[in-house]
Chain A
Amino acid sequence: MTTAGTYTPEPGAAPLPRMIAAQAALETRMLLRNGEQLLLTVVIPALLLVLFSSVDIVDTGAGAAVDFLAPGILALAVMSTAFTGQAIATGFERRYGVLKRLASSPLPRWGLMTAKTLSVLVTEVLQILLLTAIAFALGWSPKGSPAAVVLLLLLGTAAFSGLGLLMAGTLKAEATLAAANLVFLLLLVGGGVIVPLEKFPPAVQDVLGLLPVSALSGGLRDVLQHGAGLPWGDLGVLAGWALLGLGLAGAFFRWE
């Protein structure tokens, strides 16, 4: 049945770029196959964009509603993938011993984290393509510099990834699932995504403005809606969250 010598040792790691690419492809496949994740990353942002742009539920200030909403929805998309989706997926990978098993494979830990980040970025590109297409169909007319937008999206991704991994690496998988969804919902409502922060009392506004999703949606709005240059304040807030989240995740992440 088996020829002698089939199992003769011939050990060796695949080249690093190939390992990371394979890992990123697998992670992306797992994410796109997961129905709940798709609901969170694609269906909800798309529905909110269409609904609130076409029905006048929230007073979004002067100008077309879509010009206010599209940047907020892009921020929501980043949060759904880098934070909620990544936290839940990683939490269950930890719970099911996937992280443990991979830790004894030739793929180094930093390689795994790089692959996770790549997978998040690929998913975000797909989300952004879909959501901008919908926004354009709804009459969106964005302004500002694409470079500033990319910078905001990347810093936002770093901030949300750090917080998501911190949660996934320290809480139980079920707790992560519940908490990540709850935080998603709270930040959706209180983070300036579809409801302008100006609707909240001034004292609350100042606090809400420091949330990562407020900084991301506010920054994107400054650029895309108002044509501002680099929104330094928002970039600073995002950088702060990124340092805090990634630093704490690096210190406290437990692999099993």
Chain B
Amino acid sequence: MRTEPVLQVQALAKRYGGKTAVDGLDLVAHAGVTAVLGPNGAGKTTTLETCEGYRKPDSGTVRVLGLDPVRQSRALRPRIGVMLQSGGVYSGARADEMLRHVAKLHAHPLDVDALIERLGLGACGRTGYRRLSGGQQQRLALAMAVVGRPELVFLDEPSAGLDPQARRATWDLVRDLRTDGVSVILTTHSMDEAEQLADDVAIIDAGRVIAHGTPEELCRGGAENTLRFTGRPGLDVASLLKALPADCTAAELTPGAYRVAGKVDPQLLATVTSWCAQHGVMPDRISVERHTLEDVFLELTGKELRA
């Protein structure tokens, strides 16, 4: 494990004309997979492109692998891999041609054929880039980001618009990169993707990081979790409430459907089931609802993530 963070962003601000895209953003990412999660227009791409050296910060500092992405770009560029949100390939190029070209710009590239096979692009062969499907173009862009054997890979919405199979291929590759010690910074507006892939999630909205932590930390923090079960209608909720810790609530939402809200831990679950046992109740369909990142985001901003 690297001790130095792979990415350090301090008080980053970036405006386009009168519009503020990034507004005092702080972010530290360590080795592993970091997901930058937020709705469209939150400043994800601007932040990423500043880290990639495409944009100069209006204020604040950015260090990638300890380097200034604008001033030390020559030293940085061979060490990072970049997947743009779209495009990046000559319109007249064949599917594999640009990938082979990017490989040639690096000293120790991956085996291009194996990579093509791995991402299920083998069938594209000599097809022109423009005739590839959106999903194939996405995977090609992903391949271009990793072919140079970088230390750190930036993926801007790597699975946007992919079918489930292609999405799985992308996720599997990200997991393999992580296993082999490549750090990944990816943007997404899919909490599912962030939960599946990321060691660390930074939620950003309106150009700022509003929450940062492991998916578990983020989901545990915020508001309470929920335990639901069904039983016969008309149970004595007041008696159940007495058995529960003080900060919990219990209610019969519809006849026979009960909800306990509070800090749901193994102890609480045991308390509820033993209360049920005492009262001769079989708690059917008992379920614990974990907070999703979607809920966390909604609580923090009052907005839907997919808006």
A: residues with CB less than 8 A from B are 1-2, 4-15, 18-19, 22-23, 26, 30, 33-34, 92-93, 96-98, 100-101, 103-108, 256
Q: Can you name the residue of chain B whose Cβ is closest to the Cβ of A35?
A: B92
Name the 10 nearest CB pairs between A and B, nearest first: A97-B87, A12-B107, A101-B88, A7-B180, A13-B78, A104-B82, A22-B104, A9-B151, A10-B108, A106-B78
Could you tell me the distance in whole angstroms from the C-beta of B220 to the nearest C-beta in chain A? 32
Q: Can you name the residue of chain A whose Cβ is closest to the Cβ of B82?
A: A104
Could you tell me the distance in whole angstroms from the C-beta of A98 to the nearest C-beta in chain B? 6
Could you tell me the distance in whole angstroms from the C-beta of B172 to the nearest C-beta in chain A? 9
Could you tell me the distance in whole angstroms from the C-beta of A123 to the nearest C-beta in chain B? 15
Q: Could you give 22 example pairs across A and B, Cβ below 8 Å?
A: A4-B179, A8-B180, A10-B107, A10-B108, A11-B150, A12-B107, A13-B77, A13-B106, A14-B104, A23-B105, A26-B101, A34-B92, A96-B90, A97-B87, A97-B88, A98-B87, A100-B87, A100-B88, A104-B54, A105-B102, A105-B148, A106-B105
Could you tell me the distance in whole angstroms from the C-beta of A118 to the nearest C-beta in chain B? 15
Contact among A4, A19, A101 with B180 in the assembled complex (CB-CB below 8 Å): A4
Q: Can you name the residue of chain B whose Cβ is closest to the Cβ of A92?
A: B91
> Which residues of B sit under 8 angstroms from A30, Cβ to Cβ?
90, 92-93
> Which residues of A sit under 8 angstroms from B104, Cβ to Cβ?
14, 18-19, 22
Q: Is A7 in contact with B149, judged by CB distance below 8 angstroms?
A: yes
Could you tell me the distance in whole angstroms from the C-beta of B128 to the nearest C-beta in chain A? 10
Within 8 Å of chain A (Cβ to Cβ): is B224?
A: no
Interface size class of B (residues with CB under 8 A): 35 or more
* CA A105 to CA B182, docked complex, whole Å: 17
B: residues with CB less than 8 A from A are 52-54, 74, 77-80, 82, 84, 86-93, 97, 101-102, 104-108, 110, 114, 118, 144, 146, 148-151, 176-177, 179-182
Q: Is A12 in contact with B90, judged by CB distance below 8 angstroms?
A: no
Could you tell me the distance in whole angstroms from the C-beta of A196 to the nearest C-beta in chain B? 38
Could you tell me the distance in whole angstroms from the C-beta of B110 to the nearest C-beta in chain A? 7
Q: Is B101 in contact with A9, judged by CB distance below 8 angstroms?
A: no
* CA A34 to CA B150, docked complex, whole Å: 33
Other contacts beyond A7-B181, A97-B87: 17, CB < 8 A: A2-B114, A2-B118, A2-B176, A6-B176, A7-B176, A9-B150, A9-B180, A11-B79, A15-B107, A18-B104, A19-B104, A30-B93, A97-B89, A98-B90, A103-B54, A105-B77, A256-B54
* CA A33 to CA B92, docked complex, whole Å: 8
Could you tell me the distance in whole angstroms from the C-beta of B217 to the nearest C-beta in chain A? 28
Contact among A6, A26, A98 with B110 in the assembled complex (CB-CB below 8 Å): A6
> Which residues of B sit under 8 angstroms from A108, Cβ to Cβ?
74
> Which residues of A sit under 8 angstroms from B110, Cβ to Cβ?
6-7
Q: Is B88 in contact with A98, judged by CB distance below 8 angstroms?
A: yes
Q: Is B182 in contact with A12, judged by CB distance below 8 angstroms?
A: no
Could you tell me the distance in whole angstroms from the C-beta of B179 to the nearest C-beta in chain A? 7
* CA A107 to CA B77, docked complex, whole Å: 9
* CA A18 to CA B109, docked complex, whole Å: 14
> Which residues of B sit under 8 angstroms from A256, Cβ to Cβ?
54
Q: Is A6 in contact with B93, judged by CB distance below 8 angstroms?
A: no
Q: Is B92 in contact with A104, judged by CB distance below 8 angstroms?
A: no
Q: Is A11 in contact with B78, judged by CB distance below 8 angstroms?
A: yes
Q: Can you name the residue of chain B whose Cβ is closest to the Cβ of A8?
A: B180
Q: Is B89 in contact with A98, judged by CB distance below 8 angstroms?
A: yes
> Which residues of A sit under 8 angstroms from B149, Cβ to Cβ?
7-11
